[in-house]
Chains A and B, each alone.
Chain A
């Protein structure tokens, strides 16, 4: 009996110890995979002298401004330097509180519940309506020069307007100035194309879906000959990439006034979703669902296993860092469905001023500096750091100096930066848009889509049509609830 017990103990211990050892070497990457908006790898140093020429007008002596945002270290350095210039030149006092993007929402909620709102805080386009209805946002029309607003990208200026009925349609007052305007372009690994002897994609003519599949098939190979595929044509994280397939096919999740979920039986949507899934389960040109849970597409892209992958404007700094991504790469359009127009999602977060702020003029001046100061934009867009994290908010600068500096190599960038500009500005072949969650009170209906078991479609165990039919009632219930909550908030 003693021996048996001892053996049991030893066996259990060995398993326990092995478990502990096995995890160590691998536990370094998973946290990054869910946070595509964070720059991986690239160490960015901001030199104070880059902001020496910042000039601020106005006298706000003795006024206290409280700023609460989330930021990465290098962004924090930029904003802190701008604050230092602002306080030195205007006499204002600024309290600068920075948190992580994960914690931001909860902390802001606590400030709201405690009725202790900061003067300046972040708000995304999707939250403008709710925050205005709750009385948190100051209309900026009287505080920000029209010239400043006119020099912002039209897309983003529209996104922060709200007329009391629908947000983001360009009508009504302006409630925030953009911290950035991002777009989710498509990138390709040139080294993989070269090795496969495939011509690079033509940014002027994005692939059709059929062409895209054919190219992906050529890139999907077993490189080491062990019988298993280890390089794929593309990898798509559904929660970020599905829109690019749905919208280009003329599909949509909701009806025009965002009150009904309309995916069940909608051919444009169902076909697009099925095509998206077929890339995995029929054509086999992406990692399988199982392989994707083992190592996400982002990590595989960085490891050089993927031909095409999504590239946010914030990713450029990391992709140009040779330690992070030691490959040549370029930008191209997402493949096109029925509409023939390549589409993707735009994103943004903006600086807003609290409606209860006792120093609205000073706060508005500060966010104008954050959003549109030329020197600050030069740093964030990579001209003075060599790592681009965003497209400049100032249109003149973006189209002029910024592009020129990319062309002459001062700002390291992947080939075909015009793809990004095309998505932001819109052309006959490209269009970027804010996804439908931006126009509803919350995104619970989208969460229902994500938690309903879409993986079974990607595995080929269910068709897209069946899944849409099954999940639509839960999505509709969540949307109805959101509408009800919105009405409660408006009362």
Chain B
């Protein structure tokens, strides 16, 4: 019978191994404590009617099986927030198109282009709460900038941007596009600057016009950036909360501006239904996972690289 040859480690190797394990342990423990356990805890919580009392034991004593999920799928208010969240996603392609146009503009040698780039990025680095308050005032019915401009130009009073079920969604989308534009521009700019000039020169030699160059070179070679922006903004789009909390009164007229995460927040921290809120969060996680997976699945058909 073959015996495994015994491998004797030197003292130094042992010491190195120990240190190696210690170094690996830090992220591993971090993962277990801050990622794995919270996920497991959320799953367990979603199976209870826990209101936060009496710690873990208190939670498990309120086990209710899949009740929360059954209720959630019958909860019309929840589905309303899902629909609103999906409607807000309209802002993503709009923001990407605008971002691309502006990035192409800024990729040229225009006087002051650096200043423009910086200014477009300011909303991205500004506090979301602060800019949400600011935009709530822009949309103000009587005193807002938008309605003042409308009144000045047309002589008529502008609409109630945050007081109408449809307009409030439009207003939120405009705000989200404005807020996210800087990121798209910066990413597209980086993408544009990575496209070799020789491609355009070759196309020019072949007699391609501007549109043909854009369609056949710029757009395909920017597709990895487009894909990255799409995936990250979609994930972010499903997590919209702060702007709804700040800009609307309790989710807006008829709850028309409330998103999934806003509803989750209300359930968890206003009526203390932590079990139900956890169920919402897990359903949200599944939705985001499916959409992201779909994105990755479909990307091979349209994302092109230089290679």
Q: Are the chains A and B members of one assembly?
A: yes
Interface residues of A (CB under 8 A from B): 1-2, 5-6, 8-9, 12-13, 16-20, 22-24, 26-27, 30-31, 34, 105-106, 109-110, 112-115, 130, 134-136, 289-291, 293-295, 442-444, 447, 450-453, 455-456, 474, 481, 484-485, 488-489, 491
Q: List 10 A-B contacts (CB under 8 A).
A: A22-B138, A23-B137, A105-B269, A105-B270, A115-B54, A134-B51, A289-B160, A293-B140, A442-B271, A443-B271
Q: Give the chain B neighbours of A491 by CB distance below 8 A.
A: 61-62
Q: Is the CB of A34 within 8 A of B249?
A: yes
Q: Give the chain B neighbours of A18 by CB distance below 8 A.
A: 145
Q: Is the CB of B138 within 8 A of A109?
A: no
Q: Is the CB of B138 within 8 A of A23?
A: yes
Q: Which of B123, B135, B141, B210 contacts A291 (CB 8 A)?
A: B141
Q: How far is the CA of A115 from the CA of B59 in the complex (A)?
A: 12
Q: Which of A2, A16, A443, A450 contacts B108 (CB 8 A)?
A: A2
Q: Is the CB of A19 within 8 A of B54?
A: no
Q: Give the chain A neighbours of B101 by CB distance below 8 A.
A: 5, 8
Would A9 and B116 be within 8 Å (CB), given that A30-B133, A112-B53, A293-B162 are in contact?
A: yes
Q: Is the CB of A22 within 8 A of B145?
A: yes
- B251 contacts the other chain (Cβ, under 8 Å)? yes
A19: nearest residue on chain B (CB-CB)? Answer: B138
Q: Is the CB of B162 within 8 A of A109?
A: no
Q: Is the CB of B105 within 8 A of A19?
A: no
Q: Give the chain B neighbours of A115 by CB distance below 8 A.
A: 54-55
Q: How many residues of chain B have a CB within 8 Å of chain A?
A: 57
Q: Give the chain A neighbours of B162 by CB distance below 8 A.
A: 293
Q: Is the CB of B134 within 8 A of A134?
A: no
| Pair count A-B, CB < 8 A | 149
Q: Give the chain B neighbours of A112 by CB distance below 8 A.
A: 52-54
Q: Give the chain A neighbours of B61 by CB distance below 8 A.
A: 491
Q: Is the CB of B140 within 8 A of A113?
A: no
Q: Give the chain A neighbours of B266 by CB distance below 8 A.
A: 447
- B264 contacts the other chain (Cβ, under 8 Å)? no
B134: nearest residue on chain A (CB-CB)? Answer: A23
- B69 contacts the other chain (Cβ, under 8 Å)? no
B272: nearest residue on chain A (CB-CB)? Answer: A109
- B49 contacts the other chain (Cβ, under 8 Å)? yes
Q: Is the CB of B141 within 8 A of A453?
A: no
Q: Which of B252-299 contact A (CB under 8 A)?
A: 253-256, 258, 266, 269-273
6 further interface pairs, Cβ-Cβ under 8 Å (given A23-B134, A488-B62): A19-B178, A27-B137, A105-B269, A113-B53, A294-B144, A442-B273
Q: Give the chain B neighbours of A489 by CB distance below 8 A.
A: 49, 51, 53, 62
Q: Give the chain B neighbours of A289 by CB distance below 8 A.
A: 160, 163
Q: How far is the CA of A432 from the CA of B269 in the complex (A)?
A: 29
Would A452 and B137 be within 8 Å (CB), given that A6-B110, A9-B106, A485-B51 are in contact?
A: no
Q: Which of B115-161 contact A (CB under 8 A)?
A: 116, 119-120, 123, 133-138, 140-145, 148, 160
Q: Give the chain B neighbours of A105 by CB distance below 8 A.
A: 269-270, 272
Would A27 and B105 be within 8 Å (CB), given that A16-B119, A22-B145, A455-B163 are in contact?
A: no
Q: Which of A27, A106, A295 contacts B134 (CB 8 A)?
A: A27
Would A453 and B163 be within 8 Å (CB), given that A23-B137, A291-B141, A489-B51 are in contact?
A: no
Q: How far is the CA of A456 from the CA of B165 in the complex (A)?
A: 11
